[in-house]
Amino acid sequence: MPRMRQEPQEKRLIKCLNKMDKRPVLFLDSGIGSLPYAVFFHSRNPKERLICAADRLNFPYGTKSKEALIKLVLSFTKKLINQYNPKILAVACNTATVSTLQALREEYSELPIVGTVPAIKPAVLASRKRCIGVLGTQRTIEDPYIAELAGKFGPDCKIIGEAAPKLVDFIEYRWIKADKEERLEAVKPWVSGILNKGADALVLACTHFLFLKDEFVKAGGDKLLVFDSVEGISRRVESLIHSTNSSPDDENSGSREQKEQIYLVVSGNNILDENWKNLAAHFDISLEKI
């Protein structure tokens, strides 16, 4: 798989983004995984309009082939672009990034697109045992890009890849109902397994797992460092928006009344049930179907 490096046309795209552009930033995932990324970005950039798109109709992405994913994600993205006209697309899904980012950039060459790359680099640099765990979906763990990143930044570092589809399902369907103890119990087996295999660092290579980051940190204690890409993705989107303007803090500082709302839009034909409504209330966001 080609390395996901900056596209040549990106410098031209950046020039099109200016501080008067009120089009939304679009965060895309198969389910609710984009929310931690959007919420973090929003905390730093409260005046930016945000759309979180959950493709529940095709959830989960992690069990599908690369070819099927490209078709599904391109179709969903086309629908989102036609409806919301975003100024930037953040693919807040590791699976979709490793499988479809190149196709997305080729298909929508006029739209700046940011992918979610697993935080392999900081993990291998921090690991003293030279052994890290990478927890994600089957599609992400099997993709050669993980090995490429490890080889680039830590060729002497052993990589333990673990696919955790049941944990993704737990977060998607159960997290909002679960108490702190149930959430902690959900991650303990994964942390124990990674530690028993000799790792001292863990990469959360699925955006869903950010919902349980506190639990991963607690379960790992001082034996396991936990890494994610949420801040890196936020800074990358900010750099596209503000590269020719003032800093995010200058541009977006203000009272709560001046903040833009986050919208969670969900694909599929089913009625948005109490889980969705409770999730929207928990994060103080608006909810609608697409």
Write the pLDDT tens digit of every residue in 232-278. Answer: 999 999 999 976 343 444 444 444 446 788 999 999 988 899 999 99
Domain positions in the chain = 10-116+231-289, 120-228
Calpha distance 202→133 (Å, rounded):
5
- Residues belonging to the active site: 93, 206
Q: Which residue has the higher pLDDT, 167 or 246?
A: 167
Angle, in degrees to the nearest 10, between helices 230-242 and 35-44: 50
User: Which pLDDT belongs to residue 21?
Assistant: 85
Q: What ranges in 176-229 are assigned the alpha helix state H?
A: 180-196, 213-220
* DSSP class of 174: I
The Cα-based distances of 10 to 40, 91, 112 in angstroms read: 24, 16, 7
Confirm whether 10-116+231-289 and 120-228 share one CATH topology. Answer: yes
Percent over 70 (pLDDT), the chain: 88
Statement: residue 15 has pLDDT above 60? no
User: Which pLDDT belongs to residue 252?
Assistant: 47
The tokens describing 186, both together, are: 């959900």
Give me the mean pLDDT over the 215-244 stretch: 93
C-alpha Rg value of the chain to the nearest Å: 18
The tokens describing 25, both together, are: 């930033």
Residue with tokens 């969705």: 276
Statement: residue 18 has pLDDT above 50? yes
Give me the mean pLDDT over the 2-17 stretch: 51
| Residues in CB range of 133: below 8 A, 6 or more apart | 160, 161, 162, 194, 197, 199, 201, 202, 203
Residue with tokens 């909002």: 176
Statement: residue 127 has pLDDT above 90? yes
Give me the mean pLDDT over the 45-57 stretch: 96
User: Which pLDDT belongs to residue 60?
Assistant: 96
Statement: residue 71 has pLDDT above 50? yes
- For 134, the 3-state DSSP assignment is strand
User: Which pLDDT belongs to residue 247?
Assistant: 44
* 120-228 is a CATH 3.20.20.80 domain: no
Statement: residue 139 has pLDDT above 80? yes
User: Which pLDDT belongs to residue 245?
Assistant: 44
Calpha distance 161→115 (Å, rounded):
20
User: Which pLDDT belongs to residue 256?
Assistant: 45
User: Which pLDDT belongs to residue 147?
Assistant: 86
Specify the pTM.
Answer: 0.88
The domain 10-116+231-289: what is its CATH number? 3.40.50.1860
